Amino acid sequence: MMEKQTARTNLLPSLLYFFFFAATGCITPYLNIFFQAKGMSITQISILGAMPMGLTLVAAPVWAGVADYFGLHRKILPLIMFLTMPFVALLGAANSFLVLLPAIIFYGICNSPIMSLSDNSVLSYLGSNRHNYGHVRLWGSIGWGLLGWLSGIMVDRLGPSVAYVGFIIFMSLEVWVALKMPEPEIAKGVPYWENLGRVIKDNRWIAFLVGSLLMGISFSFITNYFYLFLEDLGAPSSITGLSVATSVILELPFFIFSAALIRKISTRGLIIFSFFVLILRLLFSSMLVNPYWGVAVNMLHGPFYSTYWAGAVNYAREIAPRGLGASAQALFAASFFGLGGIVGALLGGWLFTRFGPPVMFQTGAGLTFLGLMVFFWLGKPNTITEPD
């Protein structure tokens, strides 16, 4: 009976993650390849690639702050999901940089806060069982891997348009699920701005955000240029799609056992483990000469991303003052995906063209190691924060 009740409890958040990552899995791995096919230069691709992640730096905290301050989580989340669709359609139709740039800017403004608001909504929905976050988040990995693989096959056969159509179909389903999610619990009488000030003064938050930034820069090297690197090595779109699919194979067991790992080594220990895995992934990427080996190297995405995301989302929740649930997730996303994303896209593009992909990935390994040192030494627990 308890298992059936848990399954019913997990259904809505599982669908929330599955449809979102199914939608993004249709286009995200291929966007830079599509831009290249439209005649964009590496510099233009770097700028376009930086926009969605870079806008997380501003848009995610703003949307999340409004949601926390006014209690509008349930209204904002489906709205921004819906607004991504016309801009994705424009990305598919446009062939000029001057049209692609505003399209991807507005897409980024709407898309960037979705994960922060979704994570906060799911953690609030799970309540005292939030350590089981990985059990529902793994359905996002399934959606990403399955549709990323199928999208690659369909793009080879039917062209890029099928990827954009797939995004719109799955994002429409995502809006439907988001409308059914309950409103997260709102902490009444909690001074929002005072609590935000406490975050800025907390060494754990400083270490967490700096470590996330350096890791985000390195991860952006991979998300923006790994598949371009495989294509330069001679990989067809079907191999790129297979690489996307295999990248999530090891996400599933790590997400499933993330609750047990958190109990065993803590959220902080899980994050430290993920730093080491990303360093290995970057170093192995720098050694690639055969694109088919890229499929195997990309499997390290699983143990990195699943442990980091499960650890970081829970860690942000643990050290956040009450009433800052969505804002805490947005600050983390702004550091990792936002500033890390835009610096990684621009710096990665320069390193890619000036020194080549191996040097770019080696630089990422060095930055990740630096982030590990900051998080490990500066982020040692020394402050008592009121639990959420």
Whether 387 is covered by a domain: the verdict is no
Cα–Cα dist 204/377, whole Å:
10
For the domain that residue 36 is a member of, what is the CATH number?
1.20.1250.20
Choose between 271 and 250: higher pLDDT: 271
Question: DSSP characters for 349-372?
Answer: HHHHHHT-HHHHHHHHHHHHHHHH
Question: DSSP characters for 181-210?
Answer: SPPPP--TT--HHHHHHHHHH-HHHHHHHH
Whether 388 is covered by a domain: the verdict is no
Alpha helices in the chain (DSSP H): 2-27, 31-37, 42-54, 56-70, 73-93, 97-111, 114-126, 133-158, 161-178, 192-201, 203-232, 237-247, 251-256, 258-286, 293-297, 301-319, 325-333, 340-354, 357-378
Range ranked top by mean pLDDT from 43-52, 129-138, 230-239, 309-318: 309-318
What is the span of the domain harbouring residue 149? Answer: 2-185+192-378
Whether 163 is covered by a domain: the verdict is yes
Instruction: Report the pLDDT value the prediction gives residue 7, as an integer from 0 to 100.
Output: 54
Instruction: Report the pLDDT value the prediction gives residue 4, as an integer from 0 to 100.
Output: 47
Check pLDDT > 60 for residue 150. yes
Residues 165-191, mean pLDDT to the nearest whole number:
84
Whether 20 is covered by a domain: the verdict is yes
Of the candidates 200, 224, 205, 174, which has an alpha carbon nearest to the alpha carbon of residue 53? Answer: 224
H or E stretch covering 72:
none
- Tens digit of each residue's pLDDT (9 = 90 or more) over 357-374: 999 999 999 999 999 999
Query: What single letter denotes the amino acid at residue 177?
Result: V
Check pLDDT > 50 for residue 386. no
Choose between 320 and 209: higher pLDDT: 209
Whether 386 is covered by a domain: the verdict is no
Range in 81-85, 108-112, 384-388 the model is least confident about: 384-388
Whether 18 is covered by a domain: the verdict is yes
- Tens digit of each residue's pLDDT (9 = 90 or more) over 158-171: 888 999 999 999 99
Instruction: Report the pLDDT value the prediction gives residue 103, as an integer from 0 to 100.
Output: 94
Query: What single letter denotes the amino acid at residue 289?
Result: V
Cα–Cα dist 235/42, whole Å:
18
Choose between 384 and 262: higher pLDDT: 262
Whether 14 is covered by a domain: the verdict is yes
Please give the model's pTM, rounded to 2 decimal places.
0.77
Check pLDDT > 90 for residue 52. no
Our count of domains for the chain comes to: 1
Give the pLDDT band (50/70/90) at residue 6.
low
Check pLDDT > 50 for residue 2. no
Give the pLDDT band (50/70/90) at residue 3.
very low
Check pLDDT > 90 for residue 242. no
Give the pLDDT band (50/70/90) at residue 39.
very high
Average predicted confidence (pLDDT) for the chain = 85
Whether 384 is covered by a domain: the verdict is no
* Side-chain-facing half-sphere of 16: CA atoms under 13 Å: 30
What is the SS3 assignment for 217? helix
| Close Cβ partners of 218 (under 8 Å, ≥ 6 residues apart) | 278, 282, 344, 364, 365, 367, 368, 371
